[in-house]
Amino acid sequence: MEVMMDRLRLDIAVTRLAKLQNLLDLACKEVLINILDGRIKGPQLVTVNLPTMLREHLMRVFEGKVCLPGHQSIEEFDRRYEAFKILLPARKIDLQALMSFCPIDSETRKSMFSKVMELIETKSPKVESLRIDLKRIISRECVLEISLLRDLKNLKKLDMPGCNIHLEDLMFLCREKIPTLQHVQVEIITISLTDFKNEENLLCPNLEVLKLQNVIVGDDTNFIFDFAKLKQLYWKPSTSKKAHLSHILAAPDLETLELFGNSFNWEAIENVSRLVSNGKILCKLVTFKYVGSRPQVPYLHNDDEQYTDFFSAMSKLIKNSMAFIPKLCDVSVFMCFGCMSWNNINEGRRIEDMTPDPSYCNCLTASVCKELKDETIFDFLEALNHRKKLLPRRGEF
């Protein structure tokens, strides 16, 4: 009886909360329309003393409306800019929606972006999280002018998909311009040998999360990063040159390592797996994920045969990690043939969305591993699958 009463109460609670949420959404949409039409002016919103939670909800509603392709105009952008001004200050800002209304010629975009950044600096200097979709602001080939970013001294998280940046600028950003940064996402980092004259310049003191896509690192670069606090690294190197893994992985606190693609130098991977077996690096690693592609086997092309060096190096790294890293408990490995589309990457899908679906990826079968001259790796992967089956399911993995 009591259980039935509880279920009834639960139903009432759920319905009531859903109603409230609908009311909140409706109210925010209505307020936003009034702001956009100029019926609510900045000081009014301040005088009614809108609670922070409501103000933030208004901002999320504002950020949910993106311009339809071909409908950009400076008038509409200005209207939204004025509304944005009223919604500031905010702790968390995503500029994608606002910038999508700006006309697409690059000069206008750049000067409007500059205006928006200035506004944020004056009206919301304590912003903690900022997302700037640079694909919509500067052309992909352009390197980001660091001066466009204002000195936001409280910023902890900066996501810039589509951003192409020089390594020295990234270092300057983390060290001097915005030293509070803990989480940075950029897409292309250009590293030149001149960046390595002074090792001091390579320190990224507070960075905890780094996501890199299409990063080009020169072969002969003695890659010494001291990421003292780095906890999570996502890396998909550029396909044009093989990346060297060794030194970036020396970050002492690294807990999550996610590697994508096949563009890693296999000798450097062997070096990493040797250091792992000696307990020299990755001692605190908890999560290791690798997503790459494999050619068809038996091989169709001569090029494909070079893959075996890479495969055996990666396989050794997986085995050593599983055996010798004390806290490692979350390992996923995909070496796919055909079940994930690399077009996703070119289309700019986010790095964390590129994993093949574990429920149907069965690209590394026992016979494929045998073809690749490494039968034991299959047993390691089986041990992983077995362990996962024993664990209670936490959503999906």
Binding site for Zn ion (CB under 5 A): 336, 339, 356, 361, 363
HEC-encoded secondary structure of 162-198: CCEEEHHHHHHHHHHHCCCCCEEECCEEECCHHHHCC
User: Is the Cβ of residue 119 or residue 363 nearer to Zn ion in the bound state?
Assistant: 363
User: Is the Cβ of residue 249 or residue 345 nearer to Zn ion in the bound state?
Assistant: 345
Q: Could you identify the residue written with the tokens 């660091």?
A: 146
Q: How far is the CB of 296 from Zn ion (least distance, A)?
A: 13
Q: What span, in angstroms and rounded, lies between the C-alpha atoms of 88 and 25?
A: 19
User: Is the Cβ of residue 36 or residue 363 nearer to Zn ion in the bound state?
Assistant: 363
User: Is the Cβ of residue 23 or residue 339 nearer to Zn ion in the bound state?
Assistant: 339
Q: For residues 269 and 237, is the Cβ–Cβ distance under 8 A?
A: no
In 3D space, the residue among 354, 284, 290, 351 whose CA is nearest the CA of residue 316 turns out to be 290
Q: How far is the CB of 339 from Zn ion (least distance, A)?
A: 3
User: Is the Cβ of residue 254 or residue 340 nearer to Zn ion in the bound state?
Assistant: 340
What does the longest C-alpha to C-alpha distance in the chain come to?
76
Q: How far is the CB of 225 from Zn ion (least distance, A)?
A: 32
- The vertex-338 CA angle with 334 and 344, nearest 5°, equals 85
Q: How far is the CB of 388 from Zn ion (least distance, A)?
A: 16
Q: How far is the CB of 295 from Zn ion (least distance, A)?
A: 13
User: Is the Cβ of residue 336 or residue 354 nearer to Zn ion in the bound state?
Assistant: 336
Query: Please, which contacts does 26-35 make with residues 24 or more away whose CB atoms are closer than 8 Å?
Result: 28/54, 28/57, 28/58, 28/61, 29/61, 31/58, 32/58, 32/61, 32/62, 32/83, 35/83, 35/86, 35/87
Q: How far is the CB of 341 from Zn ion (least distance, A)?
A: 11
Instruction: Report the b/e string of 105-118 with b at 16+ CB within 10 A.
Output: eeeebbebbeebbe
